[in-house]
Amino acid sequence: MEQDLTHRHLLYGCVAIALLTFLVYASSLGNGFVSLDDGLLMYKNPLVQRTDLYTLKRIFTSYDPELYIPLTLSLYQFIHTLFGSGPSAFHTMSLFLHIANALLVVWVTTLLCKKRWMGLTVGLLFALHPLHTEAVAWASGMKDLLSGFFFLLSVGFYIGFLDNGDRKHLSASTLAFALGLLSKVVIIFLPVVLLLIDHQRGRKVDRNTILEKKIFFALSILFTCIAVGGKVHKPYDLSLFETVLLSCKSIFFYLRQLLVPGGFSVLYPQESPISLYHAEFFLPALFTVALLGLWWISLRKSPRIGLALGLFLLPLLPNFINFSKNGYLFFASDRYAYLPSIGIFLLLVMFAEQCMKNRKKAQLCSALLVLILAVFVPLTRTQSLTWKNSDALHTNILQEYPHSTMALNNLGSVRMAEGNTEEALRLFTDAYSREKQHSTAAINIGIVYLQKGDLTQAEEWYKKAIAELPVERAATEDELIPYYFLADLREKMGFPEEALALYKEAVAKGESYAEPHINLGIAYQKRRRLEEAEQEFRAAIGLNRYLPTPHYNLAGILAETGYLDDAERELKTVLRIDPNFENANRHLENIQRLMQK
């Protein structure tokens, strides 16, 4: 006969989950920042480094550069204000958020299943599964933890509304959902999850239950539109069919990793062509069709299973537009399975629930849980330490994907920073030999030769990088970098007109980016072609008014041509954007002294 835990035992279990999770991740609190976005979002982000009305306004009216995560950036601000820019405080906050999420999983699952042992088991699996280490140990993964926190809080409040009919719980659920969307838009399908909960509870899903959630749906639509606004530059233009195939592969991969974890990597590069004729796509596509069929049947026959499958599939969907980054394709990221894992763990405890009716099967399930945790704990601890620093991170990627050109380039950059130019050159050359259509390796090889003083080789590699830029799609902002390096080199070699032509070509290829206009403007400014320089700086400001450099250079031109009031305004804008920018303070004081004479 199945027996449930007492409330006291549930409380003890929650304390045990919190302590065990902290102990497993404790060694990772000494991890540093890594080169994957941490600087962009935190320790090099002017919006995080100070807190005032201007930065708050900027946070809530801009992207990061392509995600809308104002509440996450506000949390970064809070951490920086209290504890400074060191990594330990950010890692500690991430761990506390993960522990809080695990306890919320216990709460929500207990409310859904009406059995405390089921909630405790799902929470334990969620807390210690090694697939979650990316979200927890990567400081930039805090946005997934924070949005997950509010997602779970919203679901819990909504179930409270269903249990007692108090509309205050519904309002609290709505507020939590809004805060979750402000953390990361990935939870936009929560209203559909709430409808699945209605169905699981025996409520009829009709016009009334949908209208009851009208604010939820309105928020989802609003934040979807905001999110789309940030995805303006797509380095890969995948067809709908290719996107579907990659999505199927992702679903299969996440499910496999949740059930049989192993082979973890920060990057999961898609190295082969996307085709239904390949087994890596054909079999996952068949599996996904079968899974969707099972979901459809379960919605009618077994709403509990339908809810669990929905909790797995729905939070995954928004991530299926994120297969490309910096000109590379990836079929998965561990952190994307953070919330979806709850659905799979819920299915597992539902299966265990059936076994609990038989004493021997119940004992077997208990022993199996202990064995699973004995495997999870060392795996999770070990995987969390791969985020120790950029060196450990990219080395780990190459252990799993030795042909990853992005990892080879990143590790080469680490070696360059260490002063090991020969090893860096070997890594960059390896990356270039594997994927010549990406210009990053050629640029890096050119930089190595430039540091060695071999200008001829540096020039040759910069030209190779330009020649290998893709013609089938628009260039990314990073892919324009070889133009700047080559132009600077030709300038130093005594060919100023060639340099100027290269800057112009970069503008022609990347006219929608601010940086090419800035570089061309600086080139004009050096040549005393001030009118043309001003035009380029204003074009850059029109594309991104939050970059300090074009305002700063424009101020120099305005001051030189006698427009001191306008120059003062531009320098004040620079200091509002970045108070520590170059010599802006000194130049502003000089201009103000001139204006007083």
* pLDDT tens, residue by residue, 118-142: 999 999 999 999 999 999 999 999 9
- 383 and 521 in a single domain? The answer is no
Distances, alpha carbon 311 to alpha carbons 116, 123, 346, 465, in Å: 19, 15, 9, 45
> Beta strand 328-332 with 268-269: parallel, antiparallel or unpaired?
antiparallel
> Beta strand 328-332 with 324-325: parallel, antiparallel or unpaired?
antiparallel
The answer, yes or no, to whether residue 236 has pLDDT greater than 70, is no
Is the Cβ–Cβ distance between 20 and 127 less than 8 Å? yes
In a domain, 586, yes or no: yes
Distances, alpha carbon 6 to alpha carbons 17, 169, 321, 435, in Å: 16, 25, 44, 59
In a domain, 358, yes or no: yes
At 422, list the tokens: 């020969």
- pLDDT grade for 234, boundaries at 50, 70 and 90: low
Contacts of 341 (CB under 8 A, 6+ apart): 125, 126, 129, 131, 132, 258, 312
Residue 384: HSE in the Cβ half-sphere, 13 Å Cα cutoff: 30
Task: Report the range of poorest mean pLDDT among 151-165, 211-225, 565-579.
Answer: 565-579
At 160, list the tokens: 């409270």
Whole-prediction pTM: 0.92
Instruction: Encode pLDDT of 334-370 as tens digits.
Output: 999 999 999 999 999 999 888 777 777 778 888 888 8
By the 10 Å C-beta count (0-12 exposed, 13-18 middle, 19+ buried), 289 is classed as: exposed
The answer, yes or no, to whether residue 457 has pLDDT greater than 80, is yes
pLDDT score at 363: 80
Is 166 strand, coil or helix? Answer: coil
The whole-angstrom separation of Cα 200 and Cα 350 is 14
Contacts of 163 (CB under 8 A, 6+ apart): 111
- Domain span at residue 526 reads 513-597
Q: Nearest-5° angle of CA 308, CA 177, CA 304?
A: 15
The whole-angstrom separation of Cα 368 and Cα 51 is 50
- 383 and 522 in a single domain? The answer is no
- pLDDT grade for 597, boundaries at 50, 70 and 90: low
Region at 242 (left for phi over 0; alpha for psi -120 to 50; beta for the rest): alpha
Q: What long-range pairs does 569-576 form, CB within 8 A, spacing at least 24? A: 573/548, 574/548, 576/54
- Which of 390, 416, 451 is at the close of a domain? 390
pLDDT score at 232: 57
The whole-angstrom separation of Cα 446 and Cα 274 is 32
pLDDT mean over 295-307? 95
At 203, list the tokens: 């409520």
Give start and end residues of each alpha helix (H) in 544-581.
548-560, 564-577
The answer, yes or no, to whether residue 1 has pLDDT greater than 50, is no
- Which of 390, 423, 453 is at the close of a domain? 390
In a domain, 469, yes or no: no
The whole-angstrom separation of Cα 325 and Cα 315 is 20
In a domain, 485, yes or no: no
Nearest to 222 by CA among 278, 181, 268: 181
Q: What string of DSSP letters covers 271-326?
A: -S---TTSHHHHHHHHHHHHHHHHHHHHHHH-HHHHHHHHHHHTTTGGGGG--EET
The whole-angstrom separation of Cα 412 and Cα 442 is 12
Give start and end residues of each alpha helix (H) in 385-474.
390-400, 405-418, 421-434, 440-452, 455-467
The whole-angstrom separation of Cα 104 and Cα 153 is 7
Instruction: Encode pLDDT of 497-536 as tens digits.
Output: 999 999 999 999 998 999 999 999 999 999 999 999 999 9
Residue 590 phi, psi (nearest 5): -65, -45
Query: Tokens 């500690």 sit at which residue?
Result: 92
Distances, alpha carbon 23 to alpha carbons 95, 105, 357, 446, in Å: 10, 19, 34, 46
Contacts of 117 (CB under 8 A, 6+ apart): 4, 5
- Whole-number percent of the chain with pLDDT over 90: 77
In a domain, 138, yes or no: yes
What strands lie across the sheet with 268-269, from one edge to the other?
Answer: 268-269, 328-332, 324-325
Instruction: Encode pLDDT of 255-273 as tens digits.
Output: 999 999 999 998 899 988 9
- Which of 390, 415, 449 is at the close of a domain? 390
The amino acid at 327: G
At 43, list the tokens: 């320790």
Could you tell me the CATH number of the domain that includes residue 532? 1.25.40.10
More confident residue, 469 or 232: 469
Instruction: Encode pLDDT of 55-89 as tens digits.
Output: 999 999 988 878 999 999 999 999 999 999 899 99
Is 114 strand, coil or helix? Answer: coil
In a domain, 445, yes or no: no
pLDDT mean over 23-40? 88
In a domain, 134, yes or no: yes
In a domain, 424, yes or no: no
The whole-angstrom separation of Cα 188 and Cα 317 is 9
The answer, yes or no, to whether residue 90 has pLDDT greater than 90, is yes
Cis peptide bond prior to 87, omega within 30° of 0: no
Rg (CA), the chain: 27
Residue 66 phi, psi (nearest 5): -120, -10
Residue 537: HSE in the Cβ half-sphere, 13 Å Cα cutoff: 23
pLDDT score at 366: 82
At 478, list the tokens: 């990073």
Nearest to 134 by CA among 319, 373, 384: 384
- 239 and 380 in a single domain? The answer is yes
Query: Tokens 């100070």 sit at which residue?
Result: 50
Nearest to 106 by CA among 121, 124, 119, 125: 119
- Report helix angle 190-200 to 214-230, nearest 10: 150
The whole-angstrom separation of Cα 437 and Cα 426 is 18
> Mean pLDDT, the chain, as a whole number?
92
- Number of domain units in the chain: 2
